[in-house]
Amino acid sequence: GKNFTGANFGRIPDASHLGLGGTFTIELWFKVDRLVSTWAGILGKSTSSTGGRNFTLWLHSDGHLNFSYHNASNAEIHVETQPGTISLGKWHHVAAVLDVPNTIMKIYLDGMEAASGMPGGYGVSSTEVTRPSRSSIGTRSTALCAICA
């Protein structure tokens, strides 16, 4: 695993297969030791040209996950788990699913459906590198201490 302490983050150079379209699943394991601020980016890919996100998985300090993207109209579409679903010091498995053609948007947490909603059209495309909150793994702020993936 890799510890993301706020001073480091993962950066993945852009490739055509990372510009996720209308049907994809993001899956990862993570553990949070402590939270320092309200929102922390776990994994995301954004675009600086529109300010929108191709996809983002966030963790809120009340222990809920937010899976979101921006559609072609730059509207943010998201689903969220209930507060308290993420426990500090425990490993969690998350799968965030978007299937626009079949109107499915879900978060699975530790093997159980934890949130669902309706997608609102196809997401914006992005050629940004993949790194936290802009296109990332982990976070480059002190918002999330010791998230491991």
In this prediction, residue 148 carries a pLDDT of 37
pLDDT per residue as tens digits for the range 72-112? 788 889 999 999 999 988 999 999 999 999 999 999 999 99
Q: Are 68 and 60 in contact (CB under 8 A)?
A: no
The amino acid at residue 136 is S
Rounded Cα distance, 48 and 29, in Å: 28
- The values of phi and psi at residue 46, to 5°, are -120, 175
DSSP 78-135: EEEPPTT-SPTTSEEEEEEEEETTTTEEEEEETTEEEEEE---SPBPP--S-B-TTTE
In this prediction, residue 107 carries a pLDDT of 97
Q: Which residues of the chain have pLDDT under 70?
A: 1-21, 36, 46-53, 125-149
- The values of phi and psi at residue 118, to 5°, are -105, 130
In this prediction, residue 19 carries a pLDDT of 60
> Which tokens go with 36?
């320092």
Chain centroid to CA 82: 16
In this prediction, residue 131 carries a pLDDT of 41
